[in-house]
Structure 1
């Protein structure tokens, strides 16, 4: 019996079980349907579960709610939503709780005004589990839920006597983000920072952080600074994270000084959180003291702190480039933890050409042979970001080898790195290996290869490359066709053969607007060499393209063809087709 037949047979038996008089049999059938989930969401099953919601046995009703919830949006019919909404008023708190959970799992599809109003009412339920699950459901409904009434009820929930409800109210307001960031909400969350329960204080920090710069008032920042000194490590960590989220506005000297102090905390999660917050503030936090302390953190006993310190220094970019930082990051390339080595590669890459000294490049060359593919990937990326300064013969040879790595992400990054090195990397061997990479099984590698050849410009404009680009203009993948146009664009007049021009003419009728736009651009760059009567006529037709960017690009292309295109027919068509709105763009044709 096939899988489909087996499932059909099982569903038939479970439907029969739902009609059994024994509540235990019915509840077991509901549990089984919950485990099957979306695959069980046929109209017949859903109708039987709707009936089970009204069962005289509350345990059966609970399990029916659970099954419908596990079926998610597939079960979110208007009838199901209405019945679950009614179940929020059930006399049994377990049914009310399960109904909240089910509606939450159906997400925005369940976010009708009636459901939202019933969930708002459930926030006042005398059973804390129901209030908690109502908060959670409102949060899962996302952007549809932040009405003023919902927000006001959540504000009230922040004063609930049950700490779990207060915590969930914080969490839900945080999920609503900037939409919930009213002055009253912010003030109540500020008050919640002084709650007796650590999870509520932590949740208030997180909510303020998720509201971003809208919540970044001086009072909020000052209270989050105070929270850095909380006796509970989770609160301190959440305060660090919140300050990082509101980043630039929070990058005051007082905040930075408190985060510097947190770098020396005895708890590793606080040290890690402080690194993360400083990193999110980027260059604004890149004082010499911060850089020195982050440099010291690269030697922390905890790998998560070392990793976050690498990330923070990387985010500060060239401003963090001191000899000490570079030396410490070089040492981090040999860290026992793979994530630290990877982050050190990334940080050096973000520092760009300023970090492109031989003592940095040599360890990155070694990293290209690391057993961890993420580190090889980051090493390619870092060398690429250093550009021509890293384009030594040894680097180029190692990147050529990386073009044959088993991991497609590394092959892709190696192509990208060679492209960023431009004409300095455009040796005959590199070009030949890139030509081979055009046949890679990975779409992202092929796309990156076309891009790399384009960045090498005229040096890569040999007949074999041009022939491959011509073929690529007819590839089934629009991304490849687009990249081929882009590469020809960068090769300029050297690629302006009659065959290329003919293929570009065909590309003017491509199904993809981006390809048509690029084809216009390339023909424009080729200038008078491409100014045949056929090209001009096809560009005139492109002036009526449905895509505005294509029309604009065709207009500019005609302008770059000079006198050859300045015929009365072209000028008249420009005037009649484009009107005054684009005539300015094309004025150079008639000059």
Structure 2
């Protein structure tokens, strides 16, 4: 360490917080790899403002040696310090830090655990699965929600029996996350469970997320539940159900989709129009023609496209 850096390091030990702020800001301005050690020392300052500047500086320098020290900031009592450290780590951590993250995940600090579960989403490694699974049964809802969400980002994860029950969790936040995660799993029970959540859950966001996941699965077994959801009390659930039925064409739902063309919300009407167009059945032509006069321009545009798509498909079919 050169003499100038030694002077700034000495100032970091000053009892006057203003001196320490000047020192850490200067080190940040220098932006030199040689300042890393001094900045790591500043992370332990008693004043949050000094810590935040040190975190920002280490973030800019992006030296891997600073990552363990930044992880220690995740258990800070200061919310801003934790947030800044988490943001920095989200940019800096790589596959090489996986074992370090998994080791810190075993800490008993809630904030550290929550932030590391989020950081693991960036790495996507299925090796982290055994360390994530225990959090699915945590007594803390925030940890259960973070864990079930992280599973969504894990590469090559097709089945996870431990995740299925969280669709029935007592916490609506956990159920919402579980409903989305189940869209990425292939367990045989997934369609049945999602359909049950879509029609029975008391939280409209859970029902909406279940519909979104059923759209991903494109499974015909979900048709009945999606048809029921077209009459849901919340318009976003009705919209998501109509979107899902675009991927699962079934002429049995034509009557309900036609009814949806009179929904009070234009977004629902638009998605119903697209779903009817995808069915390409003669019975949908007249309702779609009526939708051309919809007061919402986007609905009428989609109706015109749907009618044209059906006509084009018929011409192609006759030529074949």
Q: TM-score w.r.t. structure 2 length?
A: 0.79
Question: 1:462-490 CA distances to partner (integer Å, 9 max, x unpaired)?
Answer: 2x31121122223221011111122234x
What is the aligned counterpart of 1:409 among 197, 200, 205? 205
Larger Rg: 1
Q: Which runs of 5+ in 1 are unaligned?
A: 1-193, 206-216, 532-559, 564-591
1:286 is matched with 94
SS in structure 1 of the partner of residue 224 of structure 2: helix
1:257 is matched with 65
2:262 is matched with 474
Shift of 1:279: 4.9
What is the aligned counterpart of 1:238 among 42, 45, 52? 52
* C-alpha distance in 1 between matches for 2:284 and 2:102: 53
Are the aligned partners of 1:195 and 1:201 in contact in 2 as well (CA < 8 Å)? Answer: no
Question: 1:294-348 CA distances to partner (integer Å, 9 max, x unpaired)?
Answer: 222221111111001111112x1xx43132x111111121223211111111111
Matched, 1:426 2:226: no
* Number of residue-to-residue matches in the alignment: 297
1:518 is matched with 302
SS in structure 2 of the partner of residue 445 of structure 1: helix
Are the aligned partners of 1:224 and 1:239 in contact in 2 as well (CA < 8 Å)? Answer: no
* C-alpha distance in 2 between matches for 1:562 and 1:237: 72
Q: 1:277 to 1:496 in 2, by over 3 A?
A: closer
- Summarize the alignment of residues 319-398 of structure 1 with structure 2, pairs less than 5 Å apart: 319-323=123-127, 325-351=128-154, 354-356=156-158, 358=159, 361-384=160-183, 386=184, 390-398=185-193
2:11 is matched with none
Q: 1:334 to 1:243 in 2, by over 3 A?
A: farther
Are the aligned partners of 1:295 and 1:328 in contact in 2 as well (CA < 8 Å)? Answer: yes
Question: 1:148-182 CA distances to partner (integer Å, 9 max, x unpaired)?
Answer: xxxxxxxxxxxxxxxxxxxxxxxxxxxxxxxxxxx
Shift of 1:355: 2.2
Shift of 1:376: 1.2
What CA RMSD, in Å, does the superposition of the two structures yield over aligned residues? Answer: 3.6
Q: 1:393 to 1:200 in 2, by over 3 A?
A: same
Matched, 1:504 2:288: yes
Are the aligned partners of 2:269 and 2:299 in contact in 1 as well (CA < 8 Å)? Answer: yes
Q: Which runs of 5+ in 2 are unaligned?
A: 1-13
What is the aligned counterpart of 2:41 among 229, 252, 265? 229
Relative contact order: is structure 1 or structure 2 higher (C-alpha 8 Å, sep ≥ 6)?
2
Matched, 1:451 2:261: no
* C-alpha distance in 1 between matches for 2:163 and 2:202: 19
Shift of 1:432: 1.2
SS in structure 2 of the partner of residue 229 of structure 1: helix
SS in structure 1 of the partner of residue 256 of structure 2: helix
SS in structure 1 of the partner of residue 264 of structure 2: coil
